[in-house]
Chains A and B, each alone.
Chain A
Amino acid sequence: MSDVAIQVRDVTKKYDNRVILDAIGLDVQEAETLVILGGSGSGKSTLLRLMIGNIIPDAGTILSLGKDLCAMTPRQLADYRRSIGVLFQSGALFNSMTVFDNVALPIREHTDVPEETISIMVKIKLELVGLRQHADKMPSELSGGMKKRAGLARALALDPKVLFYDEPSAGLDPVTSAEIDQLIIDLNEKLGVTTVVVTHEMDSAFRIADRMVLLDRGKFIVSGSPDEMRNSKDPLVRQFVHGLTEGPLTDRRRAGGYESDLLAEDI
């Protein structure tokens, strides 16, 4: 648990002069499960996209698996992406292919493995996520939970060193959500992969996290173990973790100049 897998240093990201991430720093230890918490618009998805190299920061550096993501040639970036796996919010399966072909795609694209071996590899990945019987189905025939499992199998196809999850329990019922959480824990333990999860679901976060960080308005508020988070005295953390309707997060929204807005003359 000592080596650092991903190092984020002073990273700033803006969209049209709106600061999404403000000089943040973060270390992800090897083989740990780190949960990035934050409300909608807190910049947590942007942080995830930065770490998978889909966008580059306006300032700061990201070192992932020992490589600088900001100074990569397209070829190096492709190499890096082959060593990570990403589960997107919707699963992001290719709708024109069967589940089997979806999982086989990265193997076919990036290796010279013969088709018989691919078939075995795909079956192993599908068994890991419990979908071996559904290999021949099209994505449209799968439920939301199964789509995420299939997306996870595809993310695992090339035996990644780091797995990223974008809102793994979004849109799932509590039981399916718990199953996906268990899967995340199992994979982390069985395969020893470094796991980064972006979510706002507290139940899920507490189940899977070794360590949590809370992102708010582009800055990290706090970082700690699930227990530390649960017992935190910080009012903002308390409101977020316990889902309270009273606290700094809601006060901020209310302080939006309601009065002057009502009384303002039309321009």
Chain B
Amino acid sequence: MNLITRPFILIGDAVIQWLELIGGAGYLFVDAARSVHVALFGKRGRRLGWDSLWAQMVRVGVRSIPIVSLVVFCIGAILAFQMAPILRDYGALERVADIIAVAMFRELGPIMSAIVLTGFAGASIAAEIGTMVVSEEIEALEAQAISPIRFLVVPRILSTTAMMVCLAVIGDIMGVTGGMLVSRGFLGIGMLQYVHHTFDNIKMQDFITGLVKAGCFGTIISTLACHLGLGVTGGAQGVGVATTRTVVLTIVALILVDLMFTGVFYFLGW
């Protein structure tokens, strides 16, 4: 490697790594999608399928409600404080509610919940599955003719996707509440006035596009976490590496996909 070829090699490596990641995760996703019906409605897997789906929903979704609420609530409050001086200059202080509403429902509710969930659930899924690889549990499943995809991956993807949508709704509400309390307490905007402005400006589209994004985020978080977890090699250290990679790569992927969605929605006029 000399100075001229080095950048090309580095960029090429990075591109190959991303392509591998997308390919691997995509392959896993297709595999999982194909065994969804067996996991949930198959004669034999039924009992376990629903049980583990339920357990995963509690683990991924319910336990992360407090932290998601806190984070998005604070973001709402921060936004209110940040917007206030500028809007006051324009004499349109009460429009804080409009801005927060659109920002929350379209963007911040879903993406902030997704980022929190990446740290909360993505990391834990990757670490859990990685540990199972290291302790031969995945091999043991295969040796017993139990597909790890159906048994482990499907419940995790389904539950994370479903719970991500629910969390986005909770995030939306908490964000607006955060903005409302700051507006009421420090900006002199009445609760009713705030609520009015929120509902006057928010369209069903804002809400729905946010939830569509949230569902995709949930699928991305869980698929990447499962993919990187299953790819663990080399013991405890490998689990650590996979966990870190999951968090970093998932957040990057989320932002990129978010950008893509937003662009598409913009040009479609949604």
Can you name 16 A-B pairs with beta carbons within 8 Å? A54-B142, A81-B142, A82-B144, A84-B143, A86-B140, A86-B144, A88-B139, A90-B135, A92-B136, A94-B137, A95-B132, A106-B145, A108-B44, A108-B48, A112-B44, A151-B140
The smallest beta-carbon distance between A157 and chain B, in angstroms, is: 8
Q: Is there an interface contact between B137 and A106, defined as CB atoms closer than 8 Å? A: no
Closest B residue by C-beta to A83: B145
The smallest beta-carbon distance between B32 and chain A, in angstroms, is: 15
Q: Is there an interface contact between A52 and B143, defined as CB atoms closer than 8 Å? A: yes
A contact residues vs B (CB 8 Å cutoff): 49, 52, 54, 77-79, 81-82, 84, 86, 88-90, 92-95, 105-106, 108-112, 151, 154
Q: Is there an interface contact between B142 and A110, defined as CB atoms closer than 8 Å? A: no
The smallest beta-carbon distance between A46 and chain B, in angstroms, is: 13
B contact residues vs A (CB 8 Å cutoff): 43-45, 47-48, 131-132, 135-137, 139-140, 142-146
The smallest beta-carbon distance between B56 and chain A, in angstroms, is: 11
Closest A residue by C-beta to B138: A92
The smallest beta-carbon distance between B53 and chain A, in angstroms, is: 14
Q: Could you say which residues of chain B place their CB within 8 Å of the CB of A86?
A: 140, 143-144
The smallest beta-carbon distance between A167 and chain B, in angstroms, is: 11
In the docked arrangement, what's the CA distance between A95 and B136, Å? 11
- Sorted nearest first, the 10 A-B pairs with minimum C-beta distance are A92-B140, A81-B145, A92-B136, A78-B145, A86-B143, A88-B136, A106-B144, A82-B145, A92-B137, A109-B146
In the docked arrangement, what's the CA distance between A151 and B140, Å? 9
In the docked arrangement, what's the CA distance between A89 and B143, Å? 13
In the docked arrangement, what's the CA distance between A97 and B162, Å? 25
Interface centre among B132, B135, B143 (most CB of A within 10 A): B143
Q: Is there an interface contact between B44 and A109, defined as CB atoms closer than 8 Å? A: yes
Closest B residue by C-beta to A151: B140
B144 partner, pick from A89, A95, A109, A111, beta carbons under 8 A:
A109
Q: Is there an interface contact between B145 and A110, defined as CB atoms closer than 8 Å? A: yes
Q: Is there an interface contact between B143 and A81, defined as CB atoms closer than 8 Å? A: yes
In the docked arrangement, what's the CA distance between A252 and B45, Å? 52
Q: Could you say which residues of chain B place their CB within 8 Å of the CB of A110?
A: 44, 145
